[in-house]
Amino acid sequence: MTHKTGKVYLIGAGPGDPGLLTIKAKECIETADVVVYDYLASPFLLNYAGKDAQIIYVGKKGGDHTLSQDKINQLLVDKAKQGFDVARLKGGDPFVFGRGGEEAQMLLGHGVPYEVVPGVTSAIAAPAYAGIPVTHRDHTSFVSFITGHEDPTKKDTSMQWDVYAKSNATLVFLMGVKNLANIVKNLIEHGKPSDTPIALVRWGTTARQQTVTGTLETIVEQVQQAKLKSPSIIIIGHVVSLRNELAWFDKRPLFGKRIVITRARAQASDLVSKLSKLGANCIEIPTIQITAPEDTSPLKASVENIKNYDWLIFTSVNGVKFFFDTLFDMGKDVRVLGHLKFACIGPVTKERLKDYGIISDILPKTYRAESVIDAFSSVEINNKKILLPRAKKARTILPEELTKMGARVDEVIAYETRLAKGGKKELISLLEKNEIDAVTFTSSSTVSNFMSLLESKDAKKLLANVVTASIGPITSDTARLLDIKPDIEAKEYTIQGLVDSLSSYYESCE
């Protein structure tokens, strides 16, 4: 049996910010059988790959290549010859110092079809995120992209230092940090004024972005003091002076803050997205895993007998999800719920219920007894039968208050929260190295499981310089019981409320 040769897509993965990936690039990743990616391609992009796709890391970090370029070329050919479509992710743009041309020639020589998907090059994006336009009508109308990887001292160099030095163009050197001293020396020796502005941008467009500015005369010492390393972009020219006026990316309220997200990975995307937009470097270390209960028969029995209930109350988005998953798995739909009245705890739960076409009749804002009593005070629930699908080991205050009002409450386990241990080593390592600025807790279980991961470690010592942020009073109460005093408690007990409180906290610290 002969295989149809697959196609290779040489994709520019962009400079680091996943949001700068093109729509076409995303589509190629989603449909690829094999994804081959570099050190500089954001690992987040791998989330777009199909669940059955083969993911292959090939390195290409300066001085540390997992595979040589020749072996990468051969890998692409081999996978395509086996009939696989390959998404080859390259940092920035594949044809801007990305050796994409070499890979294309190799593929062409072996009869492998390919397409090039251009990407946003770091040569433009990193300066832009640092507030430096590479061209500006008042400063320069052209720009030169130059490799900084080549040893500027070698005799047969192709570097035209006299041209660079006399040019009014913005000079952008890629991969040149190790050669910075020689680059500066050659430019000055060939006539470039020593007071010419220069900037280096490391990890441009990401929450790890670091920018150092100076002049040709001072920059080497400044970079050494800042301990700036690769990957960095070097920008030389008068446009660098615009940074003080145009810097925007690193002025966001949470810029560079390393914030641990303890929420279950499947539910963390909203929090990660909101914090990232404010500049945070989000580190996902889920402490909980949301799963269906071991015994689903009680929930199924409740669904089967749903006609016997008057009210259906949801206390979380998880309760909504697992209830409706069970309903649909049993071959039923929302029509069997037509006789019910609904209540949701919190606006986010209400919105999740609305996704199924159902509007909640009442909305207690919190678990607090006063809130529940107030919300139900306008309705008659005496002798009414209420179904309450929720987590195993949930707090008892809600059914207790409803029972006091005369309701008959059936609690059923809709889901369980279990300890997630996968990030234990990473968490402890980051805390011990003092590489975490804040930890977010979105439920009581995230707090208790977080402490479980630390085990016998001195939690107080590890968290001494870490800001702890709680989504609300119940989560805060759990934290205090475990000897953690939250620095931040959201005023609105939602993800957006938590984000707003974190932002306000750091803005007040400035």
Q: Is 70 exposed, middle or buried (0-12, 13-18, 19+ CB in 10 A)?
A: exposed
b/e burial code for range 146-168 (CB count within 10 A of at least 16 → b) = bebeeebeeeeeebebeebbebe
Q: How long, in residues, is the chain? A: 510
Q: Contact at 8 Å (CB) between 148 and 179?
A: yes
CB 479 within 8 A of CB 485: yes
Distance CA 347, CA 362 (A): 10
Contact predicate 314/337, CB 8 Å:
no
How many Å apart are CA 362 and CA 86, to the nearest integer? Answer: 52
Which residues share a beta bridge with 457?
none
User: Which residues is 261 bridged to in the sheet?
Assistant: 284, 440
Contact 96, 172 (CB under 8 A): no
Name every residue whose Cβ is closer than 8 Å to that of residue 387 and which is 6 or more positions away in sequence.
Answer: 302, 306, 309, 311, 312, 313, 410, 412
- Tokens describing residue 444: 């009581």
Task: Check: CB of residue 282 under 8 Å from CB of residue 275.
Answer: yes
- The pair of structure tokens assigned to 279 is 């500049």
| Listed residue (38, 46, 61, 54) closest to 6, CA to CA | 54
> Which one, of 312, 393, 407, 293, lies nearest residue 353 by Cα?
312
**Nearest 10 degrees: Cα torsion 86, 90, 93, 98:** -110
Q: Which of 236, 129, 233, 245 is nearest to 186 (CA)?
A: 236
Handedness of CA 471, 476, 478, 480 (dihedral sign): positive
**CA-to-CA distance for 394 and 391, rounded, in angstroms?**
5
Catalytic residues: 38, 60, 175
